[in-house]
Structure formats: C-alpha cells, structure tokens
Structure 1
Amino acid sequence: MPQRTQNFLIHILLLWTTLISIIQIAIIIFLFTAGQKGLDSSAVEPSQMPSVGTVNSLPSNKLVLGEGKMLTFKATKAEGQIKWTANRPDDALILERDKHLMMMVDGYLFLNLQVTLSAKAGCTGSNNCNVSLVKIQPEKTEVVLQGLINKETLSTGILSKVEELGAGEKLVVNMTSLCDCVDDNLSKTHLDIIFMLRPQMSVK
C-alpha cells in the first residue's frame, strides 16, 4: 500500500514538473516575440532619419550613419590642376566643380590618390614634379597629401590619408608647372574616396 501511494505521488510530481516547464517555455516564447515586435515597430526607417551636416537632406542613396560609399574619380585634364570626373557621380555627397570637388555634407573621408605622367613623346619630364591634394576652407588652405613624381615609374605611387571635411569645403589636386601630360588611364591616375557621414555633435 505505501508503495502504491509513493508511485502515485511520483506521477503527480512528474506531471506537475512537466506542466510548469511547458508554462515557462510558453512565457519565454511570448516575451521574446513581443519584444521583437516592439523593436520592429520602434525602428526608424533610413528615410525618416534626420539629416547630418549642414545640408538639409540625406544623399540620394539615403546613406545613414555607419555606412560608407566609395567614389572613384578619373583625371580628364591637367593644367596646373587636375580636373576630376566621377565614374558614378553622387552630387548629393560630392559635387564636381571645374577643377575642384566640393563637399555637400559633413563627413569623414579615406582619400587615396595616385598621379602618373604619360610617357608619350612631347611631354615634359618628371624632374621636380610635385603633386599635392589641398583642402580649401573658407578661412584657410591646408595640404592634405603631397608627393613627388618618381623619375623611373613617372608616378607618385599611392598617397593615402583619412581626413574630416565639412559641407562647402573643397578638394583640389595641384601640380607644379613641370607636370603635364597626365596619363588618364584609371589604373594609373585616380582619386578614390570612401565617404562616411559625420554625426552631429551635441553642444552642452
């Protein structure tokens, strides 16, 4: 008799434990799905995010903080300054103006510059040929990258730097008077920019 009572109690205990486990699993699943729905409903669409920088609208591709965009510029002309043309222009980020590039929004830029002279007949040699990437601000001008043309390769090689620019500031590539006949092959002369939006800083 006592053994039957023990077995009965064990079955009751197992049934109770199973029921409690099922209830706990159901509660966890409910809380998890409710939390996910709350996150989804509170997520802000990129199109609803506030603009960054002094320009009131986000770029045409709706670039958001944490994302980057790569722009490659090809040399089309060189008369003391190189004129650049973007392979895939995005005027909402960087606008091409004559021989300079103008920033349309505040951002961080990874700059990658290479200038190569053409070896064809009639071009000036590379002696003392200096190339510089200059940042033009309303109050000052600053050299960001600088290099000499190598006499053997006729190239500056790769010049790179990370730089912060604000909306309205300009980039221009200057060359000394001894430099002409720039090789416009994209693999030899190019300006590459990886652009990321700069977050607004709160003023206390």
Structure 2
Amino acid sequence: MPQHIHSSLTHVLLLWITTLSVVQLGFIVFFFTAGQYPSEPEIPLGGGKMLTFRATEVNRNIKWVTKSPDERLISGAEGGKVLKIKRDGYYFLTLQVTLNSCNAKALWHRVSLKAKDKDLLKGWINNNTCSTGSLAKVEELPAGSTLEVTVNKTAPSETINEEESHLDIIYIFKPWK
C-alpha cells in the first residue's frame, strides 16, 4: 500500500514540474520577443538607428552635414546649423569638436549642445589637444525638438577641424506605455 501512494505522488509531482516548466518557458519566450511592444518596421525593438554628422564651418558657424541621412528621424534646418528631431524617443548623443589650432594662452573655449535653450552637453576645448574629447549623454527628446551646437571661438584663425569634429546620434525606439 505505501508503494502505490508513493508512485502516484511521484507522478503528480512530475506533472506539476512539467507544467511549471512549460509556463516558465512560455513566459520567457513571450517576454523576449519583439511582439511584446509595437515596433517600427525599419527599427526592430531593442535596436537603434545611428546617424552621423560631420561639422563644416561656414562663416564661423558650424553646419552639420549628415553621413547617414534619415529624414524620418532628424532633418537639418536653418541651412544645417540646427537639427530638428522628427520622432519621440531616446537619443544617445555623442559630440566632439576639434579645432585645427588653438591659442594656448587663451581661456578655454566653451562648447555646448542645446535643445530649446537647455544645455544637453557642455564642455571645453582643451588648449593642449585643441579638442573637447568625446562628450556623451542619453536624452529623451520629443518630436519637434531642435539641437544646436555653439562654440565660442575667440580668434578668426581658430577653425573647426572638419575631419575630427562630429555629432553622432543613436535613436532608440520608445515603446508607448
């Protein structure tokens, strides 16, 4: 008699463990698939889209020229001086501004990336390297925001190094809540 009860409890326990395993596996598959949130066709969930802009200098103003255009996400405005955000989302911003030469005796030059008069990135050009180095930040930006980079250079001979000055932006899809 004890043998028969022990055998049936073993079967119940195995059935229970199997059921829990199947439910757990189903949850893991459901949680880690793209069907969890709506996604954009060109940008898979969890993915992003990188846009790279290089700096050119026109009449002492920085103009941003895209190396990887995507007008659905970001477009140039005011002749490329301002970048306009087209979609809500998270944006990973990386900025580096380098001068061809800089006056070692001058005060450090201030560089800022602004969105609606708010400094998102702020740094100074080091007089030894003539560069800000990499400035980076993740920011949630709504559609319609504008990005503008300002540099307060003091001498007309200080020009932007167009090969080493760049703005990289990675767009990350923001699922609705």
TM-score by structure 1 length?
0.61
Q: Which of structures 1 and 2 has the bigger CA Rg? A: 1
Q: How large is the RMSD of aligned CA atoms in angstroms? A: 3.6
Question: Given the superposition, is the C-alpha separation of residues 198 and 81 from structure 1 closer, same or farther in structure 2, using an over 3 Å criterion?
Answer: farther
Letter in 2 for 1:18: S
Correspondence 1:1-204 to 2 at 5 A = 12-30=1-19, 32-33=21-22, 36=25, 45=35, 49=38, 58=40, 60-62=42-44, 64=45, 67=46, 69=48, 71=50, 73-79=52-58, 80-97=60-77, 98-119=80-101, 127=106, 129-136=109-116, 141-176=117-152, 178=155, 180-185=158-163, 188-198=164-174, 200=176
Q: Distance in 2 between matches of 1:34 and 1:132?
A: 51
CA distance in 1, matches of 2:29, 2:54: 46
CA offset at residue 198 of structure 1? 4.4
The separation in 1 between residues aligned to 2:70 and 2:111, in whole angstroms, is 26
Cα pair 1:69 1:195 within 8 Å, conserved: yes
Contact kept, 8 Å, 1:109 with 1:196, in 2: the verdict is yes
Deviation at 1:18, TM superposition (A): 2.0
Q: Measure the CA separation in 2 of the matches of 1:38 and 1:198.
A: 22
Q: Which 5+ residue runs of structure 1 have no aligned equivalent?
A: 1-11, 52-57
> Per residue, is there more strand in 1 or in 2?
2
Quick check: 2:43–2:173 contact (8 Å CA) kept in 1? Answer: no
- Cα 1:34–1:155 shift into 2, 3 Å: closer
Deviation per CA, 1:158-187: give whole Å up to 9, x if none. Answer: 3334433210111111233646532222xx
Deviations 1:71-96 (A, max 9, x none): 35242411333233444444433334
Count of residues paired in the alignment = 169
User: Is the CA contact 2:43–2:49 (under 8 Å) kept in the aligned structure 1?
Assistant: no
Unaligned runs of 5+ in 2: none
With the length of structure 2 as denominator, give the TM-score of the two structures: 0.68
State the identity %: 30
Change (3 A) 1:115 1:59: farther
